[in-house]
Structure 1
């Protein structure tokens, strides 16, 4: 019965994720227009290059509400690598006016036309088996490989899979998501044959999962080389794991979501989620009910590409959590966020912003080799509150903490030599729960989602 229900759900979902005639005409028309512009500009610049469309639009695997037109400028190997980014920027400026500079191993430009993203990516033209200069060089090979494999049924199931991955929040290999790239999802459908077969298999995945569509790699060597829950050998490069950006969390969220879908099939597992807005009063109410508090770091007035901002946000959040826990604070969660423009934020929910000034430290056993050094260190120390004393067979001492307030601790850490490079020499705003109204709305929404964090598919598992 469940199989029949799932098939019925997928039939309806397929209609939802298939572009309408009008939408298709708009996208295909924009693609043709964009290619013509880029080709003309490249010619005017006197650059010998091939302009090719790649990605989901080129392969007809795109979703109606999530469209990226990827245009690659393929240059000869003798073109200076340090000028690749300037080619993308100049073409984007002349073709579309405004752009956002992004980075992979070298810069590329992202433009916006109505509700459609157009990415201008410079790369070197290579043949299969040739050594790459950057990862972007492989992308046209990926496109050629899939174009020779896909048919209408596979394209239909790829769209269904992309909608599923997007709905549960695992679609995207960028630092922000750490999930499944579009190319990876397409390879999974190609390997398993259809969406249902993929879901049934993925529901039982146990890491490490090894997939080699073309059987071009050694499983034993791959398991040694790649520390990843999912290993999918790139059909055009046996030394690359397509799933390397996938985090363990996102891997298991996908596995659990597949189990949930098989247990209780529903169209809701394929619909985009609406953003929830959190007012300052709502966040304060949640903190009051939980008996916890929030501390927020805001690093502002930055001028860095979005991917770099996300990398820094996640890195700094890991460091802040470590510092807090090392100094005795109980952290429920700590996460980083960025508006992808100029601000990086790190928020942590703590059991309390203040902890006792006193802490107990366990010393060595009585009459052991370390006894004398322990006693000398603590007998006359100004931060010794009581002890050293013996309990059982060991020495103990009660010490005064250097920091018992989370804001003071973080402020000291950020001003020190071990602070992350991004914050050195910068003024960092530190805000607590009572001042949450001073935090921008986007950051409040990020905090709210972490406070009420839950999986959209949990109820379908029971």
Structure 2
């Protein structure tokens, strides 16, 4: 588990605006009336609050008893959106952090943490992130019991989860009723546009980042007005740490794999509890741009619909073939059994493999037009090609003839090659036309040369076991498993 898991509010949320079954009218009035309509449906009511509080208090009491039995100086803290009152009606997450004194060694902390977790959640199961924790369900609530060290400062952290209690304390001191209501609006807005969640599949805005932005700008509307005018890279430093990202020392962004790099992101929000960390490091440029787009559209024409995720209808084979005929491109897909990894491990590997394969296709002249990757039971790397077939020969330019040593070497290398045309002179240099290694994209993808490109380790292993290459109309077989994802690709929206 990472700290973002405790703060992204992704678990157990259906993403609909109204979890109580009500409908929201198509209100196109001004921002205030739209906001009022949304607030009515995302604000947890008294009964929902009481039920969550009752369950949380009972679990906290149980965790405290188990923790202090093992370490008298241990304590328990509820963190995340339910602790900060920024959760949306229908969310079902309770995050309980068991804090042990820093003198404890990590091995003992992990052992105590699992023991406390199992005593708190007898029906729970173990999951693993930076260190193991216990996850379970109690009366419909998704509960995590996570061990961490109780430290004086987030700068002293030993793992990512250690800083989460500092985030909760920081925001609890700054969020009033009005701002918490605006945080809910911001979260629902980001969910509606598909930019909410710090998981490495979404690469969007975490719950903590969303809360910091609302606090920094002073409200939901103020955040949208600011985002509409952002000129990335956008740099925010809530506590004026004064960290200059161009010249600063290494950052604490280990969760996204750049711990040795200074901040170089489209959105930079210096963690108020840890000046060496960019809270927005995981947020992809496209999601920053997506927020800008929808902020502008909403402020120009406020609509309740933008707060509701609008998943497209799955694309069927007939519709897919119509798109292919209209576009005149050649799609090609590599399909294989998805590696057995959690999404935060799988999607970085899929993206790395996508980059490697598309680079390999481009380098061989197949001109990738657009590409994507998706996964479910199987995984797919899909590239749409502007050029799918190449001539049997390719031009190979040599050095200028006046560069004698290199020119002589080039000439001698091809002079006796019976399969090559030339060498001959074109302008001031030698040129040869040699046989092309692959005349079709399929030929390249079905060859061992596929494994010369940069692939994710687990993806490479899966491909070594078995994979299938689908070309043209052949990708229609993907509709059954990936109809919705294909609709997003062939019917794209911001």
The answer as to 2:354 corresponding to 1:328 is no
1:345 pairs with 2:380: yes
Q: Name whichever of 82-91 and 45-54 sits farther off.
A: 82-91
Answer with 268-277 or 42-51: which moved more. Answer: 42-51
Greater mean alpha carbon deviation, residues 189-198 or residues 304-313? 304-313
- TM norm structure 2: 0.81
* CA 32–345 in structure 1, closer or farther in 2 if over 3 Å, else same: farther
Q: 1:432 aligns with which of 470, 473, 484?
A: 470
The alpha-carbon deviation at position 405 of structure 1 amounts to: 2.6
Q: What is the rounded CA distance, in whole Å, between the counterparts of 2:239 and 2:48 in structure 1?
A: 35
Query: Is the contact between residue 84 and residue 123 of structure 1 (CA under 8 Å) also seen in structure 2?
Result: yes
Once residues 26 and 441 of structure 1 are traced to their aligned partners in structure 2, the CA distance between those partners, rounded to angstroms, is 40
Aligned counterpart in structure 2 of residue 179 of structure 1, from 188, 201, 204 = 204
Question: Counterpart of 1:401?
Answer: 436
- 266-275 or 319-328, which deviates more: 266-275
- 2:311 pairs, out of 274, 278, 285, with 274
User: What secondary structure does 1:198 align onto?
Assistant: helix
- 1:361, 1:398 within 8 Å by CA — same for their partners in 2? yes
The equivalent residue for 1:56 is: 81
Q: 67-76 or 172-181: which moved more?
A: 67-76
Of 326, 344, 359, the residue aligned with 2:394 is: 359
Report the CA distance shift for 1:382/1:155 in structure 2 as closer, same or farther (over 3 A): farther
Q: Which has the higher contact order (CA 8 A, sep 6+)?
A: 2
Contact 1:92 1:111 in 2 (8 A): no
* Cα separation, partners in 2 of 1:45 and 1:276, compared to 1, 3 Å: farther
2:131 corresponds to which of 86, 92, 106: 106
The aligned counterpart of 1:145 is 170
Q: CA deviation at 1:307?
A: 1.4
User: What SS is found at the alignment partner of 1:424?
Assistant: helix
Instruction: Supply the distance in 2 between the matched residues of 1:301 and 1:216 (Cα, whole angstroms).
Output: 43
- Distance in 1 (CA, whole Å) between partners of 2:344 and 2:158 is 20
Q: Which residue of 2 aligns with 1:310?
A: 347
Mapped pair 1:381 → 2:406:
no
- 2:144 maps to which residue? 119
Once residues 186 and 272 of structure 1 are traced to their aligned partners in structure 2, the CA distance between those partners, rounded to angstroms, is 20
Moved over 6 A (4+): 43-48, 220-224
Could you tell me how far 1:67 is from its partner in structure 2?
A: 4.0
The Cα offsets for residues 14-69 of structure 1, whole Å up to 9 and x where unpaired, read as 22221234433443344334434544555677796322210111111012244432
Distance, in Å, in 2 between the alignment partners of 1:115 and 1:61 is 19
Shift of 1:122: 2.1
Match of 1:410 among 434, 445, 460: 445
Contact map agreement 2:245 2:264 (CA 8 A) in 1: no
> 1:184 deviation in Å?
0.8
**Counterpart residue number, 1:245:** 282
TM superposition shift of 1:144: 0.7
The gaps in structure 2 that reach 5 residues or longer are 1-27, 250-261
Distance 2:474 2:111 in 1: 43
Aligned partner (choices 123, 148, 151) of residue 97 of structure 1: 123
Question: Tell me, what secondary structure is at the counterpart of 2:333?
Answer: strand
Report the CA distance shift for 1:301/1:247 in structure 2 as closer, same or farther (over 3 A). Answer: closer
Listed as ranges, the gaps of 5+ residues in structure 1 are 456-462
Q: Alpha-carbon deviation of 1:186?
A: 0.5
Q: Is the 8 A contact 1:363 1:394 kept in 2?
A: yes
Q: How many angstroms does 1:440 deviate by?
A: 7.6
1:389 aligned counterpart, secondary structure: strand
8 Å contact kept, 1:84–1:106 = no
The corresponding residue for 2:484 is: 445
Cα 1:414/1:390, change in 2 over 3 Å? closer
The answer to whether residue 300 in structure 2 is matched with residue 263 in structure 1 is yes
Matches within 5 A, 1:25-40: 25-39=50-64
